A and B are shown apart, each in its own frame.
Chain A
Amino acid sequence: MNNVKKCDDVSNQLIAYLDRRANSADRAEVEDHLASCASCRARAEEFRLMFGAMDQIETIEPSAAFDARIRERIAQEARPRWFSWLVPQPRLAFSMAMLLALSVWMAKLPRENANVTTAGIEQQDFDAIKDLDVLENYDVLSKFDALDEVTTDQVMPGQTTVQPVNQPAAQQPAAEE
């Protein structure tokens, strides 16, 4: 029963004992020790006085500007929260717009190809018929016939078979006729 704790053993409990936060078991231990130890009693008293002195530190009040400033900063911080609802939406809208533009472009692309192919066909057709009025022109055709005769005459004694095919060369003498 009489195994009263030594000074070092109760020292860590002393503060909690003095600020009345020690549990009943710890409190009893400290009280037992203090009852038998004059130096710890003196120390405990000094602590008590010191705690009293430490209360002399005045408390300060935050300035009026403090509240105004923090509210402003919080409001600033809160604002993006509203935008955070919207912020993904411009992005979404943008990506949707891009997607739309892309799909329009994609949709347009085959149509352009189609235009190109029909244009190609038209070109071919045009190429086919562009000389038609020339070919249907009697004068020209008769000249061709005349040319044909000339060239066949020339080919007979001639050496090359290329010449009748070479129209421009053949045409010029024909035109001069």
Chain B
Amino acid sequence: MGVRYNVEAMTRSDVQLMLDVKAGDEASFEILLQKYRSPLVNFLFRMVRDRATAEDLAQEVFLRVYKARAQYSPSAKFTTWLFRIATNLALNSVRDNRHRQMDVSIDAPVEEDEAPPLQLPSREMRIDEHMVERDRAEFIRQKISALPEKQRVAVLLHKYEEMDYADIAKVLECSESALKSLLFRAYETLRVQLAPLVSQPAEGGREGRS
């Protein structure tokens, strides 16, 4: 019994914090908020690729967690629960946005003749040695968000949230072996698409010399 309590005390787990929130301790929610605001906003930013939307969604995630405090039962890991809510909200947002964009492109066919030729060169970035770091980051983000939904979530949680395979599998509601093959396929795609970046690390040396 003592050992068990020690382990719990040592970790001061998120589950415990959430149970404290359930018991009416507002300060515990503040701790969870401070702990996860940045990972959550970043995860959502990489999912939706828009800062304002990412922050709105993160607010929604925290609010949902807070609203659900009374019904909270520690059946799953807190992070798994948190990121599952975030994933669902992000995917819905991305889908809604895609529909909206489709509607816009259907509604405004005339403008299509003018706008794309002007925007395409900047959107579809050329990969060369002059590519600045921000463009490289944008290029990577673009390739990640071009992945199928589940692969994208898996990569973001694996690479950037450094989540365990078991936890990612729970977020995505699939088996661990299914997740491993999902991740492999995703990284295979990225390996091919990001190859130009990999063969040319961002040194910026040539720009400086010339």
Point out residues on A near B: beta carbons under 8 Å: 11-16, 19, 21, 43, 46-47, 49-54, 56-63, 66-67, 69-70, 73-74, 77-78, 81
Contacts and interface: CB of A to CB of B under 8 A. Distances in A.
Contacts, number: 96
What does DSSP make chain A's interface, helix, strand, loop or mixed?
helix
Contacts of B37: 62, 66-67, 70
B59 A54 contact: no
A117 B24 CA distance: 61
Contact of A15 (B26, B45, B58, B184): B184
A67 B38 CA distance: 11
Interface in B172-205: 177, 180-181, 183-184, 187, 190-191, 194-195, 197-198, 201-202
Contact of A54 (B24, B58, B194, B202): B194
Contact of B136 (A56, A61, A63): A56
Please classify how large the interface on chain B is, using the bins under 10, 10 to 19, 20 to 34, 35 or more.
35 or more
A62 B41 contact: yes
Contacts of A49: 198
A60 B41 contact: yes
B165 interface: yes
Contact of A16 (B58, B165, B191): B165
Contact of B133 (A56, A66, A77): A56
A53 B196 CA distance: 10
Contacts of B198: 46, 49-50, 52-53
A69 B59 CA distance: 8
Interface in B140-159: 140-141, 158-159
Contacts of A50: 187, 190-191, 194-195, 197-198
Contacts of B141: 57
B137 A47 contact: no
A74 B134 CA distance: 35
Contacts of A67: 33, 37
B42 A60 contact: yes
B83 interface: no
Contacts of B184: 11-12, 14-15
Given A49-B198, A69-B59, A74-B29, 7 more contacts: A15-B158, A16-B165, A21-B165, A52-B198, A53-B136, A56-B136, A74-B26
